[in-house]
Amino acid sequence: MTGIATDLLPATRDALSVLLLAMADDEFVIGFSDSEWTGIAPMLEEDVAMSSLAQDELGHAQALYRLLAEIVEDGRDADAIAFDRPPEGYYHARLLDHPRGDWAGTIARRYLYDTADGVRLDALAGSSFAPLRDLVGKIRREERYHRMHASSWLERLALTTGEPRLRLLDALARLSPDGASVLAPLPNELSLVMAGILETGSAELETRWRAEIGPVFERLDLPMPAAIAEPAAARTGHSEAFRRLWTDFTSVRHAEPGATW
């Protein structure tokens, strides 16, 4: 074997694969979902912004899938992992299973996702697994722009009385049960913590996330996301909305087998 993760214990390597799949699928699904705004965003600036954000996320997903392919070494490349699974084989968080919704729905989800993803990336910034640490170092620089975008829009919608605020509240209520799903525990994540790959476990990451967004939600008088009812199902049992998205994003690959991105 010539793989880049051969010095890891098999159980650790498996847990790392699961983490990478979760991160890659998260970025892939939110990136593809947000790309649906291209051409129809509420204003031209946001058309450009959402398209650029989506391009960033799909780029992150591609890099993470490539890393995963090098670790798993089962003959699949990044494209095969990204496109050749049935819908139930995807491992993104339930938060990303929701349709993009209206503009308030997209902003609410982006804010919840970007802040949770940020906490996850921070916990990988000092990872003992160098290829992931290096990639995360680069991704974090880009994600700062995403967080700035989501934060400023969240504030705008929350502080504009009437329809904008009502739509935001409606979106947050809809997303609330799945709000914390990005940071739900992953199988065998303790082995990642013990190997120094991930700084700390999901419970602590969720605590950090809530501590970060809590003061913002309080200042804007918004309800915090609920606790996850079924943490073990936080990344399974995907929605009809996701199946429709899947049909879209696999259509080129199905029409032209072997197509690459």
Partner 1 sequence: MTAIAAIDEPAVRSALAEVADPEIPIVSIVDLGMVEGVEVTPDAIRVELLPTFVGCPALDLIRAAVEERLAMFGRPLDVRFGYRVPWTSDRITSAGRELLRTSGFAPPGNGATDLPVLVQLATPVPCPHCGSRRTVLENAFGPTQCRAIHHCTACRQPFESFKPI
Does residue 156 touch partner 1 according to CB under 8 A? no
Does residue 249 touch partner 1 according to CB under 8 A? no
Binding range to partner 1, per CB under 8 A, among 116-124, 126-134, 167-175, 214-222: 126-134
Using CB under 8 A, which residues numbered 51 to 110 contact partner 1?
51-53, 55-60, 62-63
For partner 1, the closer of residues 19 and 135 by Cβ is 135
Residue (of 71, 70, 60) closest to 26 by Cα position: 60
Name the one residue in this structure whose structure tokens are 């799949």.
21
Using CB under 8 A, pick the residue from 7, 45, 74, 256 that binds partner 1: 45
239: its two tokens: 């929605």
Using CB under 8 A, pick the residue from 89, 125, 126, 142 that binds partner 1: 142
Reduce the secondary structure of 221-234 to three states and give it as a string.
CCCCCCCCCCHHHC
The set of residues, in sequence order, having a beta carbon less than 8 Å from that of 10 and lying 6+ positions away, is none
Does residue 134 touch partner 1 according to CB under 8 A? yes
Shortest approach of partner 1 to residue 144 CB, angstroms? 4
Shortest approach of partner 1 to residue 178 CB, angstroms? 26
DSSP 179-215: TTGGGSPPTTHHHHHHTTSSSS-HHHHHHHHHHHHHH
Using CB under 8 A, pick the residue from 11, 48, 194, 252 that binds partner 1: 48
The set of residues, in sequence order, having a beta carbon less than 8 Å from that of 168 and lying 6+ positions away, is 104, 107, 108, 154, 157, 158, 222
Q: Which residues bind partner 1 (CB under 8 A)?
A: 45, 48-49, 51-53, 55-60, 62-63, 130-131, 134-135, 137-139, 141-142, 144-145, 148-149
